[in-house]
Amino acid sequence: MAIRFNYPIEFTTLPEYCAHRGQFVRVVRQCTNLECDPACQPMYVIIASDGWRGHAALSELEDIPDMILPRAPTHRITKS
């Protein structure tokens, strides 16, 4: 399963977060209450393919189901 980081476009004060908006990330673990305000939980530590690490709210993480390729068409042989 792939996870996309959907950082809101109206948030512009954290340029490194904006730069990773829309990218696929790996969720490392849930943040501890020392890493973020307990009132903001659940928050997660995420890592992007370039090594950038950040925190994301659950609402900013989108599960992308595995891509399923369509079956090859079958051809019927008909007798003329």
* pTM of the predicted model over 0.85: no
Which residue type sits at 18? C
Integer Cα distance of 63 and 2 in angstroms: 6
Integer Cα distance of 7 and 15 in angstroms: 11
pLDDT band at 71 (very low <50, low <70, confident <90, very high): low
Q: Which domains, ranges and CATH numbers included, belong to the chain?
A: 2-63 (2.30.30)
20-63 pLDDT, tens digit per residue, is: 999 999 999 999 999 988 888 899 999 999 999 999 999 999 98
